[in-house]
Structure 1
Amino acid sequence: AVIISEIGVDMSRFPSAKHLAAWAGLAPGNNESAGRRRRSRHRKGNTHVQSILIEAALAASRTRTRLGARFHRLHRRFGGRANNTAGKKAAFAV
């Protein structure tokens, strides 16, 4: 209910799922200058949506479902440094 109240039911303002993820602050930031790339861990976004997605991801990580398996794959790939980001992306993918 919180996600719907924050995003709204009109999804036409987001051309793609990537635009929605960027609005929520889940897309990584890329800073490139003089051929050097720097990536940021997370971006500023809607804090209400982010906190709900963290709770949903933690709940999903404790289940034996497709979403739980995706969370664990992302956790293995990113390691402990990106628990929240991996969890939010896994929850947002649904």
Structure 2
Amino acid sequence: MAIYGYRCPHCSDIDAAFPIGSAPADMPCPDCGATSVRVFSPPMLTRTPAAVSAQLRRAERSASEPEVVTSLPRRRAVGAVATHPATRRLPRP
């Protein structure tokens, strides 16, 4: 079922559910009985957060054009303790 929008000339906008492709061009207003015409409304598209969108674009781009690495990643020194606050209470080796 799809939700279609109708505009009554006397009342407010109306939403009605019909099977896809079977919505009439006009329908009676449930409040006043006047003829309500169908209006176009964009589909409900959700926006993804900018960080998620950037990561998705990066992942798509790396499928065909892998990123070039110019240096080795930094490694922690042996015996270095993580600085995350949650790890401060862990027992030390």
Greater RCO between the two (CA within 8 Å, min separation 6)?
A: 1
- Fold shared per TM-score above 0.5: no
Is the radius of gyration larger for structure 1 or structure 2?
2
TM-score (norm 1): 0.18
